[in-house]
Structure 1
Amino acid sequence: MGLTIVLRGTILLSPHPFLLKWLPYCRGNVILHTYCEFMALMKLTCVDTGVERAYSLLVAFLTGGLDLVLIIVSYILIFQAVFQLPSKEARVKSLGTCGSHACVILVFYTPAFSPS
């Protein structure tokens, strides 16, 4: 599973430097943050960057959106398994574990989807 995550990130994000390399920059070289971000570099170009922006949006959807869909599907499967447990104590304990895990997921993903 870890290898799949690394491969997905590598495949989706490796075109970014190549997309940026061939663009002409004419608006200076100052980025308003402390990290070098793809979209911040796109703002420094002086040509139409529709294709690059569309690719960046696709990457954002495939990373965040696909993760969200897979998390929802996995929780549906987890809840199906939990509600088939024979004892009430086991169901409550399992739901408590799932609840804390869901809170961690919300803490991690909520800032990514909030407007900045």
Structure 2
Amino acid sequence: MNGTEEIGCCGAYCGTCREYLKTCKGCKPGYLDGSRDQSRAKCRMKKCCLTRGHITCGDCGEYESCETIQSFLSHPGYKYGKYRQALEFIRAHGHAAFLNAAKHWTNAYGRYPEQDP
């Protein structure tokens, strides 16, 4: 998947997490290769995203009208705004550009490069 397994369905970047693949299995590892049972996943976003074959919820044609992701992104708090920003960046510029920006982050979200219009 070219590093995209480190992008959460919600837009979080798991690649900077110290617990990723230790105590936190993330959204995708195991589900992508079938070693984890997707029907047992508790996260509705993850189930929907992976079942539809998307990398993130932002890849879905129903993103803007999806009650599940929009409800999640509407939670109060800074991180939810950053997850929305990540998904919007991915929608506009693609996964490779997101991963390029994220390689400099120290958190699940960070700054984006200035993009030409």
Bigger radius of gyration among the two:
1
Regarding TM over 0.5, the answer is: no
Using structure 1 for the length normalisation, give the TM-score.
0.25
Which structure carries more relative contact order (alpha carbon 8 Å, separation 6+)?
Answer: 2
